[in-house]
């Protein structure tokens, strides 16, 4: 595939670049609006944020069928960009909805929060759309820097500060690896453009070149850190636990999807010719990731921490699909990311409603008897847990089915499929503990108060509908996932 240079700035496709522009404008607007007075608990920030996400989504949807290369091929608009941009906008909308009342009750500065949310999503969009290692890095840093701050937003809480700092330090460490890897790849192939690297590797048998190996390995480590794959996952529980619940929900879905989007693009577009060597290695990492995640999650008493380990485990399942490789494996991964985003945000949206005022009630024991006091909330949380556990007919089951069904076609991956299914069997235990608490425990002491809010309820309704719909009618999403990967090649 040849790269057609776009010589002038004016030749840009404004619609294709729409999400980037809208998100940037929204961020600036939010900060500028701070100079205008507003009521203490106004909705301005949330509304601007929602509108920005909707505008970005609309812009990219409007030119969904087209393929463009922008900025000299550093930024591409193709089905994968469209798919992930829409996913990130959806994640952004859901994050806004579940933050709406949570921010008010926990006294978090709204304008700053939403501005950072927007710029973080901007980073994710750039990551998914980059066709160049430099822009990948740019997007990743943009996303991460915003997240570092968001994690520390509960300023009065030491654990939140702690989490923020820890995430920042380790993130910087991982970025170092990524940047070093990019430099080595550039050195080995003479380009930072993914398509050029791919073309170069296809012509030149370099598979055993140490510089190339080291380079791709370090790039992988950079992504593995963001998606929380073992052994680069250790920050996850601390950060997830310390961050405000709405931020945890947002990053558990968004950052993971963005990391995998970039990983998939790099793997398929640039390193395709050498990916075969990676299969067994990826399988081992996938195995480690899901096992560590699931086994450690078993005894967690804190729901955010439990979901952190669960998110590690899910990264492991997705890595199985990456290991299966090729467009089929990648589509399974993309499908899984989409379903996972909805069910996981749904679970966190329920958590944001637990507790009154500034208190956070996210212990397993806080759920005791909740299923009877708040039947619909309990039912929703149960549905999300069943979906995360991969029990039909929920979306999570379809995701696992696609991944394992894809991997089982490769005989050398059979062992990791067996381990994966076994892992999902183990995982049911801790997801079920939530249900047990909901329906089979009596609360000790003061039962947890619920902070009802229409936006959060809407977020739960949307995610619940998606979780059921993608389980019962997986067809449409699956085709989109496939197209997103096929269009790339």
Partner 1 sequence: MNLPMLWIIPALPLAAVALNLLFGDRLGKRGTAFLACGAVGLAFAAAVRAVLTLAARSEEERQIVETAWTWFRVGDFSVDVSFLLDPLSAIMVLVVTGVGFLIHVYSTGYMAEDPSFRRFFLYLNLFMFAMLTLVLADNYLLMFVGWEGVGLCSYLLIGFWYEKQSATDAGKKAFIVNRIGDFGFLLGVMFLIAWTGSVNYERVFASAPHLFTAGGTIITLATLLMFVGATGKSAQIPLYVWLPDAMEGPTPVSALIHAATMVTAGVYMVVRSHVLFEMAPVTLEVIAIVGAATALMAATIGLVQNDIKRVLAYSTVSQLGYMFFACGVGAFGAGIFHVMTHAFFKALLFLGAGSVIYGMHHEQDMRKMGGLAGKMPVTHATMLIATIAIAGIPPFAGFWSKDEILAKAFATGHYGIFAAGLLGAVMTAFYMFRLYVLTFQGKPRFDENGGHAHAHAADAHGAHMTHDAHGHGAHDDHGHDHGHGGPVKESPWNMTVPLSVLAVLSVVGGWIGIGKPFIEGESWMGRWLEPVLGSGPHVHHLAVSTEFGLMGLSVAVAAFGIFMAFRAYLQSPSIATAMHERFGGLHRTLYHKYWVDEFYGAVAVNPVYQASMRLWRFWDEKVVDGIVNGVGYFLEGVSALLRLFQTGYVGTYALFITLGVLALFLHFLRS
| Residue ranges binding partner 1 (CB under 8 A) | 158-159, 161-162, 165-166, 169-170, 173-174, 177, 213-214, 217-218, 220-221, 225, 230-232, 234-235, 237-238, 277, 281, 292, 295-296, 298-300, 375, 379, 386, 391-393, 398, 401-402, 404-405, 408-409, 417-418, 421-422, 425-426, 428-429, 432, 436, 439-442, 472-475, 478, 482
Least spacing, CB of residue 235 vs partner 1, in Å: 6
CA distance 50 to 238: 29
The 8-class DSSP code of residue 70 comes to E
Nearer to partner 1, 60 or 362 (CB): 362
For residue 68, what are the β-bridge partners? 77
Least spacing, CB of residue 479 vs partner 1, in Å: 9
Least spacing, CB of residue 178 vs partner 1, in Å: 11
| 59 contacts 19 by C-beta, under 8 angstroms | yes
Least spacing, CB of residue 93 vs partner 1, in Å: 26
Nearer to partner 1, 174 or 347 (CB): 174
Least spacing, CB of residue 155 vs partner 1, in Å: 13
**φ, ψ dihedrals at 206, nearest 5°:** -115, 10
| 397 contacts 267 by C-beta, under 8 angstroms | no
Least spacing, CB of residue 25 vs partner 1, in Å: 36
**φ, ψ dihedrals at 2, nearest 5°:** -90, 155
For residue 130, what are the β-bridge partners? 75
Task: Give the number of residues written for the chain.
Answer: 489
Least spacing, CB of residue 139 vs partner 1, in Å: 21
Nearer to partner 1, 110 or 387 (CB): 387
Distances (CA, A) of 321 to 240, 285, 406: 25, 12, 7
User: Which helix H or strand E contains 184, and what residues bound it?
Assistant: helix 158-189
The 8-class DSSP code of residue 447 comes to P
Least spacing, CB of residue 120 vs partner 1, in Å: 22
Nearer to partner 1, 405 or 449 (CB): 405
Nearer to partner 1, 405 or 443 (CB): 405
Distances (CA, A) of 462 to 343, 388, 456: 10, 16, 10
Nearer to partner 1, 32 or 299 (CB): 299
Least spacing, CB of residue 129 vs partner 1, in Å: 26
Nearer to partner 1, 358 or 409 (CB): 409
Closest to 325 (Cα-Cα) out of 289, 287, 282, 290: 282
Closest to 103 (Cα-Cα) out of 22, 40, 26, 31: 40
| 33 contacts 111 by C-beta, under 8 angstroms | yes
Nearer to partner 1, 55 or 197 (CB): 197
The 8-class DSSP code of residue 182 comes to H
Least spacing, CB of residue 105 vs partner 1, in Å: 24
Nearer to partner 1, 161 or 365 (CB): 161
Structure tokens at 32: 């500028």
Q: Which residues are within 8 A (CB) of 487 and not within 5 positions of it... i.e. 6 or more apart?
A: 67, 78, 79, 80
Structure tokens at 148: 């570092």
Q: Which residues are within 8 A (CB) of 22 and not within 5 positions of it... i.e. 6 or more apart?
A: 52, 55, 56, 59
Nearer to partner 1, 12 or 295 (CB): 295
């Amino acid at each position: 595939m040849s790269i057609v240079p776009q010589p002038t700035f004016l030749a840009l496709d404004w619609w294709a670049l729409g999400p980037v522009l809208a998100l940037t404008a929204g961020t600036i607007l939010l900060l500028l609006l701070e100079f205008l007075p507003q009521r203490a608990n106004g909705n301005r920030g949330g509304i601007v944020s929602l509108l920005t996400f909707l505008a970005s989504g609309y812009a990219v949807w409007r030119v969904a069928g087209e393929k463009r290369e922008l900025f000299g091929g550093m930024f591409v608009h193709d089905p994968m960009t469209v798919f992930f941009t829409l996913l990130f906008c959806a994640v952004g909308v859901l994050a806004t909805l579940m933050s709406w009342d949570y921010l008010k009750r926990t006294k978090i500065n709204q304008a700053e929060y939403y501005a950072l949310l927007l710029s973080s999503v901007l980073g994710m969009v750039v990551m998914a759309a980059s066709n160049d290692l430099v822009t990948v890095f740019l997007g990743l840093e943009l996303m991460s820097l915003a997240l570092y701050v968001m994690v520390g937003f509960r300023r009065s809480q030491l654990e939140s500060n702690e989490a923020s700092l820890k995430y920042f330090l380790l993130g910087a460490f991982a970025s170092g690896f990524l940047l070093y890897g990019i430099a080595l790849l550039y050195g080995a192939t003479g380009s930072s453009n993914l398509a050029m690297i791919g073309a170069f590797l296809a012509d030149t048998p370099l598979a055993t070149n140490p510089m190339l190996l080291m380079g791709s390995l370090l790039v992988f480590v950079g992504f593995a850190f963001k998606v929380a794959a073992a052994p680069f996952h250790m920050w996850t529980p601390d950060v997830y636990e310390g961050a405000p619940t709405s931020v945890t929900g947002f990053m558990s879905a968004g950052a993971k999807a963005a990391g995998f989007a970039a990983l998939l693009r790099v793997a398929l577009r640039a390193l395709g010719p050498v990916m075969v060597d990676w299969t067994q290695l990826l399988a081992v990492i996938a195995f480690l990731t899901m096992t560590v995640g699931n086994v450690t999650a078993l005894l967690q008493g804190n729901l955010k921490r439990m979901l952190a380990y669960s998110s590690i485990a899910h990264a492991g399942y997705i890595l199985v699909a990456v290991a299966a490789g090729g467009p089929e494996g990648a589509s399974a991964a993309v499908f899984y990311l989409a379903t996972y985003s909805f069910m996981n945000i749904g679970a966190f949206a329920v958590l944001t409603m637990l507790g009154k005022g500034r208190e956070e009630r996210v212990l397993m024991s806080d759920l005791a008897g909740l299923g009877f006091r708040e039947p619909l909330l309990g039912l929703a949380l149960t549905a999300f847990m069943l979906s995360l556990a991969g029990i039909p007919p929920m979306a999570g089951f379809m995701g696992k089915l696609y991944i394992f069904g894809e991997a089982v076609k490769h005989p050398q991956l059979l062992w990791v499929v067996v381990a994966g299914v076994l892992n999902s069997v183990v995982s049911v235990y801790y997801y079920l503990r939530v249900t047990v608490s909901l329906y089979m425990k009596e609360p000790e002491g003061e039962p947890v108060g619920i902070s009802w809010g229409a936006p959060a309820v809407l977020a739960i309704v949307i995610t619940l509908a998606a979780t059921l719909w993608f389980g019962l009618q997986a067809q449409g999403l699956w085709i989109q996932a496939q197209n997103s990967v096929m269009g790339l090649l």
